[in-house]
Amino acid sequence: MIRDITIGQYYPAQSQVHRLDPRVKIVCTLAFLVSLFLQNSILGYVVAFAFLAMVIRLSKVPVKFIVRGLKPIVILLLFTVLMNLFLTRNGNILFHYGILTITEGGLRTCVFMTVRLIFLVMGSSIMTFTTTPNSLTDGIEKLLHPMNRIHVPVHEIAMMMSIALRFIPILLEETDKIMKAQIARGADFESGNILQRAKAMTPILVPLFVSAFRRANDLAMAMEARCYHGGDGRTKMKPLQYHRNDRVAYLITLLYLVAIVGAGRYIPFKIWIF
């Protein structure tokens, strides 16, 4: 399960998506995530799937690597499915037994919400797979730069987000090492019920917290040793500049938004699952 968590990892490749400006990838990712909540029709999700498939193909990130990142949210997906399936009661009744009732609206909401979550995770993962933490920090800082006028610490916020994102794979790797060391000493993390498994994780949490604080302290000392004092007066080794491909990416995303909004609202009829 630890190896299946791919959040914060960077997949090196020579692709058109990798070469895009980080600001473009951040804005386009946010636009894609927002678009998932703008419609509730089969046609709209087909458009979203086509756009996501095109981006994945252009990024040259293996599909199995992206799908593997969905395994940690299986429990969340199941919880979402059950809650929407049995608590949403709109339309004709399809199944009823005791307190359990499944309606057309509940089934439709359940399917749409599941697809929406899967697309949301896959779409946001593409951004981290194709963008290094340093580039992501520069992009966030550049996008939030106008907020400096109202004395918002933009550089510090971007730096904290980048460090937190970078620490995710590091801590996951550290957790994997600690688990293997505990298993070698006879620890059992697989047998028993949920409470017993949670209790068995205690020998992992303590050394993991100690390691996390030690790494944070080492990072703080390294930054102080290099005379880091925030973003005032600092220059960039690689200044961000828009190129032709970046403008094309913005245009494609804009066309996608027009298509998905039109599919969900302005088409005279909606294609539902029923």
What pLDDT shows up at residue 265? 64
Rounded Cα distance between 213 and 39, Å, is 44
The residue that leads in pLDDT, 236 or 249, is: 249
Looking at residues 1-23, what average pLDDT do you find?
Answer: 76
2, pLDDT greater than 50: no
Model confidence at 273, in pLDDT bands (50, 70, 90)?
very low
Q: To the nearest whole percent, how much of the chain has pLDDT over 70? A: 90
Q: For the segment 191-222, what is each residue's pLDDT rounded down to a tens digit?
A: 767 677 777 777 788 888 888 888 888 888 98
Which stretch of DSSP H or E encloses residue 184? helix 154-184
Q: Where are the beta strands (DSSP E) in the chain?
A: 93-97, 100-103
Looking at residues 79-104, what average pLDDT do you find?
Answer: 76
Rounded Cα distance between 37 and 34, Å, is 6
What pLDDT shows up at residue 165? 75
User: CB of 102 within 8 A of CB of 93?
Assistant: yes
Model confidence at 264, in pLDDT bands (50, 70, 90)?
low
For residue 110, CA distances in Å to 66, 77, 86, 89, 238 come to 23, 10, 9, 11, 45
**Four-residue CA torsion sign, 118, 119, 120, 122:** positive
Model confidence at 246, in pLDDT bands (50, 70, 90)?
very high
**Cα(first)–Cα(last) distance of the chain, in Å?**
36
Rounded Cα distance between 152 and 101, Å, is 50
27, pLDDT greater than 90: yes
What pLDDT shows up at residue 266? 55
What pLDDT shows up at residue 269? 42
What pLDDT shows up at residue 247? 93
Q: For the segment 44-66, what is each residue's pLDDT rounded down to a tens digit?
A: 888 999 999 999 999 988 888 88
For residue 232, CA distances in Å to 46, 164, 174, 241 come to 46, 22, 34, 20
Domain ranges across the chain: 22-155+238-266
39, pLDDT greater than 70: yes
What pLDDT shows up at residue 164? 79
- The mean predicted confidence, pLDDT, of the chain is 80
What pLDDT shows up at residue 272? 42
What pLDDT shows up at residue 7? 61
Model confidence at 25, in pLDDT bands (50, 70, 90)?
very high
Model confidence at 242, in pLDDT bands (50, 70, 90)?
confident
42, pLDDT greater than 50: yes
Model confidence at 10, in pLDDT bands (50, 70, 90)?
confident
3-state secondary structure of 233: coil
Looking at residues 65-83, what average pLDDT do you find?
Answer: 78
